[in-house]
Structure 1
Amino acid sequence: MRSSNPVFSRRGFSRDNGYAGFNTAPQAGGAAVGTQQGANPYAQNPYAQNPYAQQDAAQYGAPQAPASAGRMTMDDVIMRTATTLGVLIVTAALAWALLPVDMGNINRSYGIAIGAGLIGFVLAMVQSFKRKASPALILAYAAFEGVFLGVLSSIVDTHIASGAAMQAVLGTMAVFAAVLLAYKMRWIRVNRRFAGFVMAAALGFVLLMMVNMLFAVFGGGDGLGFRSGGMGIMFGIIGVLLGACFLALDFKQVEDGIAYGAPREESWLAAFGLTLTLVWIYTEFLRLIAILNSND
C-alpha cells in the first residue's frame, strides 16, 4: 500500500471488477492470475484474500483474515492519522498566533509560510518515494505544512474574508463525511478505470496550475486567470472534486491493506496519504472562499 495525493503516484489497483484490490487472489472458479499480474504485496499472510471476501463469502466461501499481531488495523490508521493531523493543527494554530499578518509584517510572515510550504513539499516528495514509512519524516511534513496553512489561513481570514478558515474546515469535514458515506454504501466504484481517470485529471489540473503560475511570475497579475474570477471558481470546484476522488482512493487503500494483513507500520503511510488529501481539499476550499469574497 502506498499513500499519496493528487501529485503523487499510487499502486495497488490491479483488477477491474468493480472495486480495486492489491493484486487480489483469484476467487473460487476464477483463473489463476498471480503469476501473470503479480502477487499480493503481503503474501506472507496466508489468509490474504479479496478485500470484500466477507461480502462474497456466501457465494465463494472465501475465508477471512483473523486479527494478527503486527498487522495493520483500523485503530492503527485512526491513531496515526489523528497524530499527524494533531501535529498539523497545533503548528497551524501556533503560526496563526505567533506570526502577525498586519500590513507591516505580512511580507515577512508570507515569506515564512512559503518557505515552510516548500520544505513540507520536499519532505512529502521524499516520503512518497521511500519504500517504507518514516514516522519522523511524516510528522515533520505535518509540522511544516501546519505553519504554511496557519499563516495562509490567517492572511485570508484577516484581509479577505472573515471566518474563511472555519468555513474551509467545515467544508473539508463535509467532503470527508460525504465521501466516506458514499464509499461505505458502495455508491463509488473504486476500480482501475476510476483510478486512471482521477490520476489523468489530477495531472492535467496540476500542469495547468503550474503553467498559470509561470505566466503570473513572468507576466504579472493572475497569469492565465485560472485562480480568479469565474475561471478561478470553476477550477476551485474541480480541485475540491479531485480531492474527494482521492479520498475514495485513500479509503480503498486502507481497506485493502487491512484485508491483506499489511504490516502495522503501513498505517503511517495511510495517515500520510489521508493528511495530504485533506490538506489539498482544505487549500482548495480556502482559495475558493477567497475568490468568492474578492468578487463581491
Structure 2
Amino acid sequence: MTEPVSKSMHATICRRLDEIAAEENITILLAIESGSRAWGFHSPDSDYDVRFIYTRPIDWFLTLGKKRDVVERPIDDLLDISGWQLDKALGLAIKGNAVLAEWLQSPIIYRAIPEAHQAVLDFCWGAMQPRPVMWHYLSLAQQHQSRAQTEDGRVRLKRLFYTLRPALSLRWMHKNDFDIPPMDMDSLCAGAALAEGEAEAIAKLIALKIARAEKAVGAAPDALIFSIIDRALDQTRETLKSLPDQPNGSLSAAADRLHIALTKQLS
C-alpha cells in the first residue's frame, strides 16, 4: 500500500495552507487530512481532503457587517481544502458534531498548535453526545447504502466503503459504551469485536479498494460485508428509540471562554 500522503505532497499542502493563512489573515490551529487517505482505504487516484480550524484577529470580530465563518478554496482534481472558524467549530461541538470529532483525531496532521489542538479536543470530548453522533453515522451509511450496488449486482467500491465505515463506527460505539469512535479503519476494526471471518472479509475488501481507481466497480464482496452493515444499522435504529438526549446548553459559556482565550492568545 502506498503512503497515504507522500513527503512531497505533504510539503505542497503545507505551502498551500501558509498561502491561505496569509491571504485570509487567519491563524490555523489545526489542519488535517479528513478523507479516505486518513480513513485507511485511499485509491491510487484519491484526492486530498484537507480540513482546518482557524481563528482571526480580535479586530475582525469588532467590525460591522455580515461575516463568513468558513474559508473555502475551489476544488480541483487533487486538492479539496476548506476550514471552519473556531467559534463555528465550538458551536458544532456543543451539538455533538461527529465530523469535528473526526478532524480532531485524524492520524494525518499538516499543521497544529499543540496547546490549542488539545484544548479544543478536550472541549469536544466533553461536549460530544452519543445520540447525535449515532444519527450522523446512521444517516451517512443509509445514504450511501442505497447507491452502493449497481443494477447488475456489482458494487461501487467507494460507495460501499462510505457505507461500511459508518456502520463499523456504530458497531464500535455499541461495543465501547457509546464512546466517540476513532476515524480510521484499523482502529475501528480493532475495537468492533469482529469475528475472524469478518476481519478477513474487510481486509480483502480494503486490499481491493486501494488497488483500484476511485470510481471502480467490482464484483459483489463476501456476504459477511453486507451482514456487518445490516446488523449495525438495525441495532442502531433500535438503540435510538430509547437513547436519551443530553442537552448541552450549559457548555455555551465554556465555549465562549475557550474561544476568547484562544483568540486573544493567537491574535
Find the structure with the greater CA-based Rg. 1
TM-score by length of structure 1 reads 0.21
Structure ranking higher in helix proportion:
1
Larger RCO, structures 1/2 (Cα 8 Å, 6+ apart): 1
